[in-house]
């Protein structure tokens, strides 16, 4: 068996310097190599022209920049680019790049393979939990889009940790990855969002991190009965406890919270439900992102009509709660978290075996 390649993305600046020093390289080589990887977005040692030829050859033979293998990718008419990766030990995870007309380039990245939270309308929640991603595996998803954008004279401007998995269930890995997005890729803190289904202790812990990263909370219902039916985590941390953690977070950070609300036709999109939500959030500095449901095969629900979504926004405004309807991206492809993975696995299961 060949020895595993060393992933240079997993090395700190100090560890990279030690790695190169062991090969007889001077300290400044680490700075040069980091500039190639992080500033220029170059993962191919052969292209690192100011490194000695012998070092480039050794890097190509013994090291790698990243470990994620592309399984398949899709491109939407609206420019959304979705990619399915295979981790070194086999699980599949998804990442998405969303370009906007105002110049923003936003990467949506995953923190886990699968998810243990079991949210009934989410394809990832329906598949169950496989494992946490390492901080480097989380970071690499954004780095790859960053690298590709740099090559065409653009830059990755925003990152949202709203892909597969619950980031606060993988708290240390997620926060370490966030700090690397800031330090290694230069993503502004206020241009990073981390989303949770509402792990109250982790929200309080997050308040102590000293980060100006946006906190987004998947809410989706304004009563415990309804929310527990959609998000089983609510049985552990019901709305009163979740909202108390949100108030504690704001008391420490002074930062506004985003609440995510998947609009399900005939489910949680009525004016009465909007009034309940407005009363629930009254007094909090917050914004509600309304997202017409992205249907999945194992959840019997449909997206809200545009008129009902507009009414929902108007009712929330009566309570002093600002809200916007998010434009759905990549609807002509497998846009929802976990959907591309599900389709690929279904296609594999449908392939005839050699004995067929």
Rounded to a whole number, what is the distance in angstroms from the first to the last CA of the chain? 33
Q: Which residue among the candidates 108, 225, 337, 351 is catalytic per the annotation?
A: 337
Q: Which of 265, 336, 263, 268 is nearest to 297 (CA)?
A: 336
Q: Which residue among the candidates 13, 94, 115, 286 is catalytic per the annotation?
A: 94
Whole-angstrom distance, CA of residue 41 vs CA of residue 144: 8
Pairing of strands 92-99, 129-132: unpaired
Torsion angle, CA of 228/230/234/240, rounded to 10 degrees? Answer: -80
**Count of beta carbons in the 10 Å neighbourhood of residue 170:** 23
- 94 part of the active site: yes
Q: 349 — alpha (psi -120 to 50), left (phi > 0) or beta?
A: alpha
Whole-angstrom distance, CA of residue 225 vs CA of residue 267: 13
Which helix (H) or strand (E) element contains residue 206?
helix 200-206
Whole-angstrom distance, CA of residue 218 vs CA of residue 60: 43
- 122 part of the active site: no
Q: How far is CA 120 from the centre of its chain?
A: 19
And the tokens for 221? Answer: 């219902």
Whole-angstrom distance, CA of residue 221 vs CA of residue 224: 8
231: number of CA atoms within 13 Å, CB side?
A: 24
Whole-angstrom distance, CA of residue 6 vs CA of residue 55: 14
Please give the positions annotated as active site: 94, 337
């Amino acid at each position: 068996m060949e020895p595993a390649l060393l992933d240079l993305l997993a090395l700190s600046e100090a560890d990279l310097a030690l790695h190169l020093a062991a090969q007889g390289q001077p300290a400044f080589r680490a700075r040069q190599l980091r500039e190639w990887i992080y500033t220029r977005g170059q993962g191919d040692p052969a292209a690192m022209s100011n490194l000695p030829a012998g070092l480039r050859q050794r890097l190509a033979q013994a090291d790698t920049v990243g470990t994620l293998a592309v399984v398949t990718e899709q491109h939407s008419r609206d420019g959304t680019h979705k990619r399915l990766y295979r981790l070194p030990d086999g699980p599949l995870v998804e990442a998405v790049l969303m370009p906007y007309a105002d110049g923003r380039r936003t990467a949506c990245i995953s923190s886990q393979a699968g998810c243990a939270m079991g949210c009934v309308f989410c394809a990832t929640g329906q598949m169950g939990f496989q494992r946490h991603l390492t901080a480097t595996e989380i970071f690499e998803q954004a780095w790859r889009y960053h690298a590709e954008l740099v090559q065409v004279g653009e830059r990755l401007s925003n990152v949202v940790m709203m892909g597969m998995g619950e980031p606060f269930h993988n708290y240390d890995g997620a926060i370490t990855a966030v700090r690397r997005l800031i330090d290694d890729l230069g993503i502004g803190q206020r241009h990073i969002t981390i989303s949770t289904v509402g792990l109250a202790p982790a929200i309080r812990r997050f308040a102590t991190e000293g980060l100006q990263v946006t906190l987004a909370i998947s809410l989706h219902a304004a009563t415990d009965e309804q929310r527990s039916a959609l998000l089983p985590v609510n049985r552990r941390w019901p709305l009163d406890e979740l909202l108390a953690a949100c108030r504690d977070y704001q008391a420490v950070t002074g930062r506004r919270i985003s609440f995510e609300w998947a609009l399900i036709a005939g489910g949680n999109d009525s004016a009465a439900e909007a009034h309940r939500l407005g009363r629930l959030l009254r007094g909090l500095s917050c914004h509600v992102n309304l997202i017409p449901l992205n249907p999945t095969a194992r959840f019997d629900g449909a997206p809200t009509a545009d008129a009902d979504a507009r009414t929902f926004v108007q009712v929330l405004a009566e309570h002093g709660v600002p809200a916007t309807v998010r434009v759905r991206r990549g609807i002509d492809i497998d846009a929802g978290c976990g959907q591309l993975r599900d389709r690929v696995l279904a296609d594999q299961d449908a392939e005839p075996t050699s004995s067929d």
